[in-house]
Structure 1
């Protein structure tokens, strides 16, 4: 029998058990590198840097009580790092062929007999190399895997050495509730508001005489409201993008937008960068539906947005420490400025919300349940949303990897239940990358949405340039 290292946390177990034929719980990423990267260099870097994280040497053993991380006694780096050639159809561009290959891999399960990750290297894609990465969500969330990405790049810092022990998960309650939080964490949890910060402060100091105070009354009222909001939230608006998820994916991405231009538009309209990007996403989806003959007027769709719930200095611990908030995208508003301010208003409504904490609690409970009951509980989120959306800040300067420059980065988080669309926004190297992964039946042509993203942003950019200029 293999020697057990540690039990899997409740939340990570929930993600492990969430796989379906239609939606596999993998985070999928692509790096475009120039000059081309050799297979030998990739294997050497993965062995030297990636394997310093225990999770990438451990496989998962499930049992009646959950799952355990155990060392893979037959670990072979060449199983996890594979070399392949990009096959192109007649007349097909290299990018279209690469997107097709990424979609195929996104719908292909990882081998449960080995650690749940794999790299595919395509050495030559029009003079560049493409590195396709697949990592199961039970290993870590997006913020944790960004930390991994930075550590394995040239000059990256390895994860700090620490003793592994069975109770080391600290499982959210220690890191986010029992211990006082840093200002950065409070900002992440509170979506730039301080309602959650105050609640955590009270929970971290339970003997303070807060009961009966106005502050405690406000906190209790907010919690009650947020519980009711999650439980009573209506199902999402019906569109062609929502329905029964099926096996098979489509993937698309475009060219990055200049981050400085996005910042300038936000400043001109007194909105955040996120507001500008999300308004562009809503506009692209609305115009896509309109072109298909559907009328999005008056319609809104929800995207479940992950919210980080951990200090950034603990991202190397991997695992999943995030909550979810339902963000409403006003796809039915054709006026770009009106849509932008509608997005800003909806973002403001989330400030101080307890919903990320409550969503995390739901996932923690789900990890303790048998799979059919867990699926029924988690399907609550799927019914109330059309998409999963991530918006992650990456490095400001392009990374180097084995001497090559990482020119472009894309990644997608998985969709759960019957959610059939994943939207990815990543700032990297001075640009903002927008990508889509969709159910091939619900949205067979995600590139038709991608190609609308830049024009929707350019409408806001043009209107911003028409505003009166302030003196320098």
Structure 2
């Protein structure tokens, strides 16, 4: 029997366009070869058997074509888990090309909307490319699902307990934001279970999301945001995507930058991202202006088990990045101030309610509502926490990972920060028609990180000599 798709999951399904597929992409690379038979067993046990969405396809029912989940009569894992080999010499450029090409390829709609590709011949080891449709789950949840395939050692043994690298924050800041957004998520889902009348009245769900003066104020602020100025990162999207990722940066190096300024690792990384984009714009004879990043906010505790049915459980905030400020230290201070303001806002809760309401509306209405929000930002910026200690999959040690949520509408740039085993990696995904060479952004990122570190050292020297 088919199961009706939740409103938020349906919203992500309906957003898909030929030039912006709503598919979450991850690439994991390892220091040695994977045992393919062990990998097959892991996927069967911890993915397919545990989470039914990986055995179900999407079908539509009723007059309005409402999406439902339906069990595939004869599920075949070999249709979703395949292997390939990079041509020699099998370096990073070849893997980045493969990942970018996959981003323009739709998933087969008659099957469950996911695939894994074991990429052999990558450097001294191999890589695993994962693609999962956003209607199955949000990025944080899918990251946890993929990492649940791993073990604490190279040997087969009991499943490891998750211990994630969580974003740092002063006590009570992100906690308040998460709790407020989660309260709205819980209220919305409970309301949906009370009766069918809410399915017919999406506006009641909006009331749940914005009840109270603070919620109404946040909604008003969101709707009144003027569109972002033109930039190299926005415009008409095409089918060709490209990706790149940075070397893993030691978290202690980032923490040292923030130590003297009272900034968290997250504050510092966001400031470096702002400086990276400023460098890119200036190099193309542009005048750097502040741009907003859409930042997903997780509504699930990382300490709770994932539900079997997964689903999307996150809100979003619109973070204005201070590209207009010239000095790295100024950008860090201003970015921290803006981050602290957002942490006290119910904005993530409001966006969750808006996505829920949009998912209940007919597809044209949903697309129009989402388009209004898209024009208020220029890029997607997400943070994915990973394990604190090294992990292994099918006998090989995980060396690193990059992760991207979909680019949508006119947004041609997606950035991700992945923290794993004491390091953080920046992943860049671009629309090739807007940003032809993502590797340039990686070079700008590494230069900006050093520039900010140098600025902090200069301030420290000046303070010690005075």
Give the alignment's TM-score, normalised by structure 2: 0.85
For 2:291, which of 301, 324, 327 is the aligned residue?
301
Distance 2:343 2:258 in 1: 19
Question: Is 1:34–1:405's contact at 8 Å kept on the other side of the alignment?
Answer: yes
CA deviation vs aligned residue, 1:71-119 (integer Å, no higher than 9, x gap): 111211111011112246xxx8721111111011011111111111101
Query: Which residue does 2:348 correspond to in 1?
Result: 356
Deviation at 1:445, TM superposition (A): 1.0
Give the direction of change, closer, same or farther, for the CA distance of 1:41–1:124 in structure 2 (3 Å limit).
farther
Query: Which residue does 1:234 correspond to in 2?
Result: 226
Runs of 4+ deviating beyond 6 Å: 194-204
Query: Which residue does 1:34 correspond to in 2?
Result: 31
Distance 1:93 1:60 in 2: 36
CA deviation vs aligned residue, 1:227-255 (integer Å, no higher than 9, x gap): 11111100002112111222211111110
CA deviation vs aligned residue, 1:102-157 (integer Å, no higher than 9, x gap): 01101111111111110111111122101100011111112211221232112574
Query: Which residue does 1:96 correspond to in 2?
Result: 93
Q: Which moved more, 1:99-108 or 1:52-61?
A: 52-61
SS at match of 2:228: coil
Query: Which residue does 1:315 correspond to in 2?
Result: 306
Question: Is 1:249–1:439's contact at 8 Å kept on the other side of the alignment?
Answer: yes
SS at match of 1:132: strand
Query: Which residue does 1:190 correspond to in 2?
Result: 176
Matches within 5 A, 1:337-376: 337-376=329-368
Distance 1:377 1:13 in 2: 14
Q: Which moved more, 1:454-463 or 1:16-25?
A: 454-463
What is the number of equivalent residue pairs in this alignment?
424
Could you say what the CA RMSD is over the residues aligned between the two structures, in angstroms?
2.7
Query: Which residue does 2:60 correspond to in 1?
Result: 62
CA deviation vs aligned residue, 1:284-328 (integer Å, no higher than 9, x gap): 1111111112121xx101111011122331434411010111001
Give the direction of change, closer, same or farther, for the CA distance of 1:140–1:201 in structure 2 (3 Å limit).
closer
Matches within 5 A, 1:162-311: 188=174, 190-191=176-177, 220-296=212-288, 299-311=289-301
SS at match of 1:124: strand
Structure 2 residue 142 is the aligned partner of structure 1 residue 145: yes
Give the direction of change, closer, same or farther, for the CA distance of 1:415–1:127 in structure 2 (3 Å limit).
same
Structure 2 residue 109 is the aligned partner of structure 1 residue 112: yes
Deviation at 1:221, TM superposition (A): 3.3
Distance 1:394 1:185 in 2: 21
Give the direction of change, closer, same or farther, for the CA distance of 1:310–1:448 in structure 2 (3 Å limit).
same
Give the direction of change, closer, same or farther, for the CA distance of 1:391–1:336 in structure 2 (3 Å limit).
same
Distance 1:199 1:324 in 2: 13
Give the direction of change, closer, same or farther, for the CA distance of 1:146–1:87 in structure 2 (3 Å limit).
same
Give the direction of change, closer, same or farther, for the CA distance of 1:187–1:326 in structure 2 (3 Å limit).
same
Distance 1:242 1:197 in 2: 31
CA deviation vs aligned residue, 1:308-366 (integer Å, no higher than 9, x gap): 12233143441101011100111222210001011111111112212111111111111
For 1:136, which of 133, 138, 143 is the aligned residue?
133
Distance 2:370 2:182 in 1: 26
Question: Is 1:302–1:326's contact at 8 Å kept on the other side of the alignment?
Answer: yes
Q: Which moved more, 1:60-69 or 1:271-280?
A: 60-69
Distance 2:90 2:118 in 1: 18
SS at match of 2:360: coil
SS at match of 1:367: helix
CA deviation vs aligned residue, 1:176-233 (integer Å, no higher than 9, x gap): xxxxxxxx998656347x87699999999xxxxxxxxxxxxxx843223211111110
Give the direction of change, closer, same or farther, for the CA distance of 1:357–1:202 in structure 2 (3 Å limit).
closer
Question: Is 1:118–1:133's contact at 8 Å kept on the other side of the alignment?
Answer: yes
Deviation at 1:158, TM superposition (A): 9.1
Query: Which residue does 2:198 correspond to in 1?
Result: none
Distance 2:428 2:131 in 1: 16
SS at match of 1:356: helix
For 1:7, which of 4, 10, 24 is the aligned residue?
4
Query: Which residue does 2:72 correspond to in 1?
Result: 72
Query: Unpaired runs of 5+ in structure 1?
Result: 160-183, 205-218
Give the direction of change, closer, same or farther, for the CA distance of 1:199–1:22 in structure 2 (3 Å limit).
closer
Distance 2:72 2:40 in 1: 18
Query: Which residue does 2:409 correspond to in 1?
Result: 417
Question: Is 2:173–2:340's contact at 8 Å kept on the other side of the alignment?
Answer: no
